[in-house]
Amino acid sequence: MEYCVGDVVTVLIFVRGVGLIGLGASAYMLYQARPAIEAGVEELERAKAGEEGASTANGVKTIAKAVTGPVLGATASSLLILNGQRILSQRLCSYNTRLQHTLKQA
């Protein structure tokens, strides 16, 4: 199936748009996770000071739970943007090859 340039550009805009929206959503999720991250850091500081009932493992778990979603979202969004760039590069190479082949025949 042969695609025209407009289809590729539409896909590229869609993929990059979704990627940028995902990056924005990840930043917002990370901002919303700030209180949980601060609580985890406080737990780590109390464990370092040797307070009873404070656990390093609990502090790390709290921070990991708060950061996991935004990090995965940002990673997936970055991969979408990079994949869109890969698609564009491959299509441009394909068009360039066809153009060179056409010019050799002329």
The Cα–Cα gap between 95 and 106 comes to 17
**Residue 76, pLDDT score:** 95
**Residue 1, pLDDT score:** 44
Give 38-57 as a 3 state SS string: HHHHHHHHHHHHCCCCCCHH
Contact 100, 45 (CB under 8 A): no
Residues in the chain predicted with pLDDT less than 50, given as ranges, are 1
Q: At what angle do helices 5-32 and 34-49 cross, to 10 degrees?
A: 50
